Chain A
Amino acid sequence: MYTDTAHDAAHGEHHDHGPAKGLMRWVTTTNHKDIGTLYLWLAFTMLLYGGSMAMIIRLELFQPGLQWVEPHFFNQMTTMHGLVMVFGAIMPAFVGLANWLIPIMIGAPDMALPRMNNWSFWILPFAFTILASTTFMEGGAPAFGWTFYAPLSTTFAPDTTDFFIFAVHLMGISSVMGAINVIATILNMRAPGMTLMKMPLFVWTWLITAYLLIAVMPVLAGAVTMMLTDRHFGTSFFDAAGGGDPVMFQHIFWFFGHPEVYIMILPAFGVISAIIPTFARKPLFGYSSMVYATASIAILSFMVWAHHMFTVGMPVAGELYFMYATILISVPTGVKVFNWVTTMWKGSMTFETPMLWALGFIVMFTIGGLSGLMLGVAPVDTQYHDTYFVVAHFHYVLVTGALYSIIAAFYYWVPKWTGHMYDEKLGKIHFWWSTISVNVLFFPQHFVGLAGMPRRIPDYSLQFAEFNMISSIGGFAFGLAQIFFLYIVIKTIRGGVKATDRVWEGATGLEFEQLPSPPPYHSFTEAPTVK
């Protein structure tokens, strides 16, 4: 479908060309591997940027009282930390993994729309430069929380909010283009014999994630467009004075926002479903149930958004519906966790670094899932709402969930990508350092949250002092561990023990079975055969 024979004949002599030389290679590249690498580096940069803001937050919360920053600046930090981590770190990291892995997993020569792929990526550095530049403007960066509820983000927001709106539009366009690319690649470019139900689960989870992206990112774009017209063009979508309703903002936002949390976790499920079977040396238990569970989670994610809003005032019938629908999601999620555990059952397990991160994911993501169940129960959510319990919950699912799976994916596939094994000892130190510190960081936040400490506030009552100090110490240690990770990444790229083509004894899939480590710049120019 995408081959043009005349074109091929004219340029036949360039068929095996490698990457162009110099910096322009990265600017003009349409190669899925290059673009994957660019995405991953952007995500890492944003992780450190968002992480540095987390350090400022933890520094301020180290002791009660106002120590280091002004409350308004603190608000900017919590807001930008959330925005940067969600849109800058987690999402681009998964798109980077998709770019690197989907073509070599399904036997395709590249992504379906390589030039658009280049655009999807290169929009993002501009979007984040625009967003970050607001920090240095009069009025400061967004300070209304990453959820930018109206009227905080409309009537009461500084002029810099327009930069934020434009940045969100750019991120949305990038995500939608990337998602269309993923869907077109998966549906059109699979090698002969690679039926849908033979695809690796990472490909399946990304296919479903891509559909979520094209369904909800435009709704977010609609929400910020309404904000923009409310702010400047006299509309009253969210302004009661003109007949609008600020609560409607929350409904529209969370109609995007809840599928968004699954956009950030479904590809993680795919990563874990690749790693666990390799190191348990058993095929994944219940492959088709995993596919159906992923699809069920995606569909349910459109029907539960108001569980973020139990306290805005809802009739009992609404609370009951959203509560039951929310709790229902634990069924397909439970299917996944039990399938991973069953995959390991009586397996010949070894515990190389990727497996450690994957196991850490299963244990700690489940802790986050459990606190999620508690939050999903409407009557008790009234107490937990907007406390540190919520902060603890979503950091367990996003840091020890999504981020852990990304790090696991790095250790698992980096020997394939670079041809170098990472340093196993350093990888294990990174895991244990991160895992101990991340629990010191986030576990106490459950306690202060249950005791009533509100989130997004730069000061707190004295009775929360000890737990906050412990939490901050964990935070600093966890932040430092990721600088250590940067060292490991650079060290692995620059050299290391030569990786075998199979990399792991139990590894399966086209990328391990049919490609060398590292794969050539253009791989699968002729489609492999899939049994």
Chain B
Amino acid sequence: MKVSPLRLAAIPLLMFGFGFALVPLYDVFCDITGLNGKTGRIEASEIDNSQVDKSRTIEVRFLANTGNGLPWNFQPLVKMMEIHPGQVYEAMFRVRSASDEPTLGQAIPSVSPGLAAEYFNKTECFCFTEQELAGRETIDMPVRFVVGTGISENIEQITLSYTFFSLDKG
């Protein structure tokens, strides 16, 4: 059995590519399993209100943070809600810019426990788009969400966290 070193060199080249292929693989894997807490998005028309499970109550808590130096004060107006799976709820978040200049931000959601992420769907969210605030502006932003009825019996509490990151260059 003889081997050509040049052919061998193909293995590290392929593996270098594989390292980068891990990125989309990871995203697909997390999308299917909801492992990294990324929430889903559905259209309002997809919601079936007849499926509300009144027998279960889940506590949903809201967290709001800002990252990488965005000068915004960002808070949920309600810190906690009791919800029934299958029903659509609305939660409001308030953001106030402490800057005199217009600023641009993007909110990144995360759900904990990760296993709940698969069932946590939003029909409307300020995180779907970039948000621009004028100097010293304050706005209230809604999130409309529904927790799927298929969610595990063991989950009694869900935390929905948003972090606003600055999109301003420099």
Interface of A toward B, CB cutoff 8 Å: 1, 112-113, 155, 176, 180-181, 183-184, 187-188, 214-223, 226, 237, 240-243, 245, 247-248, 251-252, 255, 313-315, 318
Contact = CB atoms under 8 A, between A and B. Distances in A.
Contact of A314 (B4, B13, B35, B165): B35
Interface in B1-44: 1-5, 8-9, 11-13, 15-20, 22-23, 26, 30, 33, 35-37
A78 B46 CA distance: 54
Contact of A223 (B17, B19, B33): B19
B64 interface: no
Contact of B165 (A183, A226, A240): A240
Nearest to B4: A184
Interface string B36-63: 1100000000000000000000000000
Nearest to B16: A218
B23 A237 contact: yes
B8 A221 contact: no
Contact of B5 (A113, A237, A251, A315): A113
A531 to B, nearest CB: 21
Contacts of A248: 22-23, 26, 36
Contact of A187 (B1, B12, B18): B1
Interface size class of B (residues with CB under 8 A): 35 or more
Contact of A245 (B2, B36, B167): B36
20 contacts: A183-B3, A187-B3, A218-B15, A219-B15, A219-B19, A222-B18, A222-B20, A226-B23, A240-B67, A240-B108, A241-B166, A243-B108, A245-B26, A245-B30, A248-B22, A248-B26, A251-B22, A313-B112, A313-B114, A318-B35
Contacts of A237: 23
B129 interface: no
A188 B11 contact: no
Nearest to A215: B15
Contacts of A222: 16-20, 22
Interface string B132-155: 000000000000000000000000
Contacts of A176: 12
A221 B3 contact: no
B108 A214 contact: no
Contact of A252 (B12, B19, B106): B19
B115 interface: yes
Task: Name, among B2, B8, B19, B67, the residue most crowded by chain A CB atoms within 10 Å (CB to CB).
Answer: B19
A222 B67 CA distance: 27
Given A113-B5, A180-B5, A247-B36, A219 B16 contact: yes
Contact of B2 (A1, A218, A221): A1
Interface of B: 1-5, 8-9, 11-13, 15-20, 22-23, 26, 30, 33, 35-37, 67-68, 106, 108, 112, 114-115, 163, 165-167
Contact of A215 (B11, B17, B68, B165): B11
Task: Name, among B12, B22, B106, the residue most crowded by chain A CB atoms within 10 Å (CB to CB).
Answer: B12
Contacts of A187: 1-3
A315 B30 CA distance: 11
A215 B16 CA distance: 9
A245 B33 CA distance: 15
Contact of A315 (B2, B12, B19, B33): B33
Contacts of B1: 187
Nearest to B36: A245
Contacts of B20: 222, 226
B67 A180 contact: no
Nearest to A242: B165
B18 A183 contact: no
A155 B4 CA distance: 42
Contacts of B114: 313, 315
B25 to A, nearest CB: 10
Contacts of B163: 240-241
A315 B108 contact: no
Contacts of A214: 8, 11-12, 15
A215 B19 CA distance: 10
A221 B16 contact: yes
Contact of B8 (A180, A218, A226): A180
A176 B37 CA distance: 37
A216 B5 CA distance: 18
Contact of B67 (A184, A216, A226, A241): A241
A217 B12 CA distance: 8
Contacts of B2: 1, 187-188
Contacts of A243: 108
Contact of B3 (A188, A223, A252): A188
Nearest to B70: A241
Contacts of B166: 241
A241 B108 contact: yes
A241 B106 contact: yes
Given A187-B1, A214-B8, A221-B16, A155 B35 contact: no
Contacts of A226: 19-20, 23
A252 B30 CA distance: 14
Contacts of B115: 315
A223 B167 CA distance: 24
A99 to B, nearest CB: 16
Contact of B19 (A180, A218, A241, A318): A218
A218 B26 contact: no
B165 A241 contact: yes
A241 B65 CA distance: 12
Given A245-B36, A314-B35, A216 B22 contact: no
